[in-house]
Amino acid sequence: MFNAEVFQNPYLPQGATEVNAIMTITTSGEGVTIATPTNLRLFGIICDISGSMGGAKILAAKDAIVKIIELLPTDAAFFVVTGSSRAKLLVPLVNAVPENKLRAISQVKEISANGGTLMSTWLHTALSEFNKMPQAICQALLLTDGQNDLSDEQDLITVLDASEGKFQCDCRGVGTDWRVSELQKIAARLLGTTDIIPSPDRIAEDFQEILTKAMGKTVSDVSLRLWTPMGAKVLFCKQVSPEIVDVTSRAKVVSERIVEYPTGAWGSNESRDYHFCIQINAGNIGDEMLAGRASLITQTNGQETKITEAKILATWTEDEARTAKIDRRVAHYTGQAELAQSIQEGLEARAQGNIDVATVKLGKAVKLAHESGNEATAKLLRSVVDVEDAAAGTVRIKRTVAKEDEMMLETRSTKTARIPK
Measure Cα distances from 204 to 95, 217, 383 in Å. 22, 21, 25
Q: Quick one: pLDDT band at residue 221, thresholds 50, 70, 90?
A: confident
Domain with CATH 1.20.120.1690 in the chain: 329-412
Q: Where are the alpha helices (DSSP H) in 174-307?
A: 180-189, 203-215
The domain made up of 2-29+219-320 has a fold known as: Immunoglobulin-like (2.60.40)
The answer to whether domain 329-412 has CATH 3.40.640.10 is no
Higher pLDDT, residue 366 or 35 = 366
Note whether 208 and 232 are within 8 A (CB): no
Q: pLDDT (tens digit, 9 = 90+) per residue, 97-124?
A: 999 999 999 999 999 999 999 999 999 9
Q: Give the pLDDT confidence score for residue 418 in this predicted structure.
A: 85
**CATH node for 41-215:** 3.40.50.410
Residue type at 393? Answer: G
- CA atoms within a 13 Å half-sphere pointing along the CA-CB vector of 5: 8
Q: What percent of the chain has pLDDT over 90?
A: 91
Q: pLDDT (tens digit, 9 = 90+) per residue, 196-214?
A: 999 999 999 999 999 999 9
> Is the bond preceding 242 in cis, omega lying within 30 degrees of 0?
yes
> Which SS3 state, helix, strand or coil, does residue 269 take?
coil
CA distance 176 to 349: 19
Q: pLDDT (tens digit, 9 = 90+) per residue, 289-346?
A: 999 999 999 877 778 889 899 999 999 999 999 999 999 999 999 999 999 999 999 9
pLDDT score of 421 more than 90? no
Q: Give the pLDDT confidence score for residue 140 in this predicted structure.
A: 98
Q: pLDDT (tens digit, 9 = 90+) per residue, 353-376?
A: 999 999 999 999 999 999 999 999
pLDDT score of 74 more than 90? yes
Q: Give the pLDDT confidence score for residue 34 in this predicted structure.
A: 43
pTM of the prediction? 0.92
Domain with CATH 2.60.40.3670 in the chain: 2-29+219-320
pLDDT score of 36 more than 60? no
pLDDT score of 1 more than 90? no
Q: Give the pLDDT confidence score for residue 162 in this predicted structure.
A: 97
Largest CA distance in the chain: 73
Rounded to the nearest 5 percent, the helix, strand and coil shares of the chain are 35, 35, 30
Domain with CATH 3.40.50.410 in the chain: 41-215
CA distance 213 to 253: 31
Measure Cα distances from 374 to 286, 358, 364, 369, 420 in Å. 39, 20, 13, 5, 11
Q: What percent of the chain has pLDDT over 70?
A: 97
